[in-house]
Chains A and B, each alone.
Chain A
Amino acid sequence: MNIHEYQAKEILTQYGVAVPAGIPAFSVEEAVSAAEELKAKGATLFVLKAQIHAGGRGKGRTVKSGVRGVMLCKTVEEVKKGAEDLLGDTLVTIQTGDAGKQVQRLYVTDGVDIAHEFYLGITLDRAKGQNVIMVSTEGGVEIEKVAEETPELIVKEWVEPGHTLYPNQARRLAFALGLEGDAFKKGVKFIMSLYQAFEATDASIFEINPLVLTPDNDVIALDAKINFDSNALFRHKELLELRDLSEEDASEVEAGKFNLNYIKLDGNVGCMVNGAGLAMATMDIIKLAGGDPANFLDVGGTANVETVKNGFKIILEDPNVKVILINIFGGIVRCDRVANGVLEAVKDPEIAAKVANVPIIVRLQGTNAEEAKEIIDNSDLNVVSAVLLKEAAAEVTKALA
């Protein structure tokens, strides 16, 4: 699960991680009063930041007003103008795609002075099965590029499984950043607190880019990107409240309500599959058959009438879908039951109206696959059956021709 920068910084603050003073704003008025409040506390420079679930905001631009997603403002008046430009406009960054994202929330922060910018990231190192903390003196830039071109500039410490980060490890990282004296002490505290926050919230990614050293030797998280392990959210009810559904695809949110795992794509062949691996393989076969997958949809291990119906409804909301391929490897689930479920779903008035011009190819394999094929073949609906994956692929090609 993703959260906004201002939410991430509120969490970091709770764990004693230093961040610039900042206040979220949902309207121009709120942005103005946020800036006034910061000014009263001594801020002489403000940073106005669009809050969307995507990176690259500083380099991105809005569609209508053409302003950057992150602005430096010298006065409250400039904050007001910036907020007017940003709110409601669509911000396009390198990570949003061409469609961009609508700006609905802002974050006004104290514009701190910067002596140096660093990078700090925490994530799981899958190859080792341990969390890794990475720092680099090359902050503020794309870390993937640094990793590729100058990997020696990234210093890593791995956390022992079942343990927390030890001070010696935080010291090694702070030394690697070249911190000295007071800044070194603050850097060690920053890293220790940050890992504590990562661990306590079951996070999957913490990215502080840039991490900055101020002329006063403070070590501060200027930006913060946090992702949480969705498998662990059951023990973090407080984090669930931070979810911003308006940042997510509406049909994906809808699918989630039915316990369907759906991801919308740009193609013309809708698909419904049981199992994530087989779903990906089915998307691949659609491509090989000359189509393009319109979605990823895993209906889970047990495919029944209800899941099939809901799957149809979600796929059919996408007007680009020209053909639907259902690929169910029955296993313990009996295929004849799934076949009847598909037919029942297709007869549902809401679905029937939409599938009139959309051929449906049903490939059922496993227990009673032959009986299932007969059931499909004997129906007078716009449904074609297949037993082998190969046959299903050939039917897709035929339907698209």
Chain B
Amino acid sequence: MSVLVGKNTRLVVQGFTGKEGTFHAEQMIAYGTNVIGGVTPGKGGDKHLDRPVFNTVADSVANEGANTSVIFVPPAFAGDAIIESALAGIDVIICITEGIPVKDMIAAKAVVDRCGARLIGPNCPGVITPGEAKIGIMPGMIFSPGSIGVISRSGTLTYEAVDQLTKVGLGQSTAIGIGGDPVIGTKHKDAVKLFNEDPDTEAIILIGEIGGTDEEDAAAYIKEHVKKPVVAFIAGRTAPPGRRMGHAGAIVSGGKGTAQEKMAALTAAGITVCESPAVIGETMKALLG
């Protein structure tokens, strides 16, 4: 068992025939993900990577029963692509694209919510249920099947944590890269809720960073509802205020969103907070005994 993606995933790739879309679709197929086809407007009827190309997401739903989409279209068109998926009735929309304007995301998120879809990202590495489905751009070989749920705002830092887990013998139920933008579809708290309700997730790794109050919200939720062990790390303790650290969402402004505040909130909620990003795996191992 797992959350969001797995054996029942029927994936449609938006931006299928582009360079990024093609490369990562190949990787996802090689991993064993059930990629039913893709969408490139104007190329409907073609075949790409031995799979059908559709003009619209709605066509992929009608013809192949797509229930999940992954988005590789450029930032100027990505908000529209998210809305297309939501309106077509896709259940889980995973947007990899980095650099989408905030205005477009505010509108897209509202449509996603109204349609009852689940959006992951944007500006994220994707979601993987090891051994079942890899949706996104993460390197599949560092993951192993197991019972740790992983939640993270960033890409390579997720790989770092997962690699450490795998090396100490702890596999992952699902790893969710929620994205580094100020407006994202699924926040830490939402992802924690999914893992808390998943019977096959035994413990949770939560990786946050400076900016916003999402980690604090997750801490409050965990304190109230979660009995499973949680290990956390917050990146950006050395980041100066007022400077955006790469991710559009990673900025300490008006004295809010510091790593210290977040670590204090997590600790107060009974969560084991790692001081160093080098000990995430062993901390979880020790906690599980």
Contact = CB atoms under 8 A, between A and B. Distances in A.
Interface of A: 95, 124, 126-127, 129-131, 144, 147, 161-162, 199, 202, 204, 229-232, 234-235, 261, 263, 265, 273-288, 292-293, 296, 298, 301, 329-332, 365-367, 388-390, 393
B124 to A, nearest CB: 11
A129 B246 contact: no
Interface string B233-268: 101111110110111111000110001000000000
Nearest to B83: A162
Interface string B199-214: 0000000010110111
A161 B239 CA distance: 31
A275 B156 contact: yes
A277 B182 contact: no
Nearest to B27: A332
Interface in B107-158: 107, 109-111, 137-139, 141-142, 152-158
A99 to B, nearest CB: 13
A232 B183 CA distance: 14
B160 interface: yes
Nearest to A131: B106
B163 interface: yes
19 contacts: A124-B183, A161-B106, A162-B106, A229-B101, A231-B102, A232-B103, A261-B246, A263-B243, A273-B156, A275-B155, A277-B247, A278-B156, A280-B250, A284-B238, A287-B237, A331-B139, A365-B160, A366-B159, A389-B164
B107 A281 contact: no
Contact of B277 (A161, A281, A367): A281
A279 to B, nearest CB: 6
A265 B100 CA distance: 28
Nearest to A147: B254
A200 to B, nearest CB: 10
Contact of A296 (B217, B246, B278): B246
Given A275-B154, A277-B207, A284 B237 contact: yes
A367 B107 contact: no
Contacts of A232: 101-104
Contact of A162 (B101, B110, B141, B243): B110
B202 to A, nearest CB: 24
A388 B104 CA distance: 40
Contacts of B212: 126-127
B217 A331 contact: no
